[in-house]
Amino acid sequence: MSAGADRRGLTPDEHHRERAQRKKELVDRRIARATIDRGVVVVNTGNGKGKSSSGFGMLARSLGHGFRCGVVQFIKGSFSTGEEAFFRRFDDLVDYHVMGEGYTWETQDRARDVVAAGAAWDVAARMLADPAYDFVLLDELNIALTKQYVDLDAVLAALASRPERQHVVITGRGAPDALVDAADTVTEMRVVKHAFKAGIKAQHGIEL
């Protein structure tokens, strides 16, 4: 057998095409089986970087399709971010609310944090009940749920009764098990390395 052929006499190019064809047939069968067309709940959680970044990426994608979008940022709010500065340019399509007062280690005031999270949830609940919103991003809601600033049962009920076509993305560490169970897609970000641990401060365009 020549060095460039397999046991059936196929060249590397022929072997590659055969494998690619088998893969295509598998993917095509899966696509054909996916016939349900409705809004989905996506949860991004875990200790790694990228949860909110992924959510805002989906927001950008939704805008590309002309969707009416809503954003509610829990916890965050004590500093400006690039995503806020950018997406506020689309005020005809994006209803953007920064409702937090900063990370809990900064505020050091649970009662104040609970009030801020409750106000944020009131805005979010109205969006989840409104069919005018095609896409809703609830940034850092998981943290508010984990710290019991927002009632988990109320969130689950609002997600279950939302308009059929509405997509919802929820971010933040520590997503509760019940929310994970209710979601359609869940991604857990894992830390491998982070520049902050090497003493590099948060950078515009990366963290801010």
207 assigned to some structural domain: no
156 assigned to some structural domain: yes
Torsion (CA) 174, 110, 124, 179 in degrees, nearest 10:
20
Return d(Cα 47, Cα 173) in angstroms, integer: 6
61 assigned to some structural domain: yes
The total domain count for the chain is: 2
3-state SS, residue 154:
helix
Output the pLDDT for position 198. 87
pTM, 2 dp = 0.86
Show pLDDT as tens, one digit a residue, over the chain (208 residues): 455 556 677 888 888 888 989 999 898 898 889 889 999 999 999 999 999 999 999 999 999 999 999 999 998 665 578 899 999 999 999 999 998 765 554 566 788 889 999 999 999 999 999 999 999 999 999 999 999 999 999 999 999 999 999 999 999 999 999 999 999 999 999 999 988 888 999 888 888 8
Identify whether residues 176 and 189 lie together within a single domain: yes
27 assigned to some structural domain: yes
Identify whether residues 24 and 67 lie together within a single domain: no
Identify whether residues 102 and 136 lie together within a single domain: yes
CATH of the domain at 65: 3.40.50.300
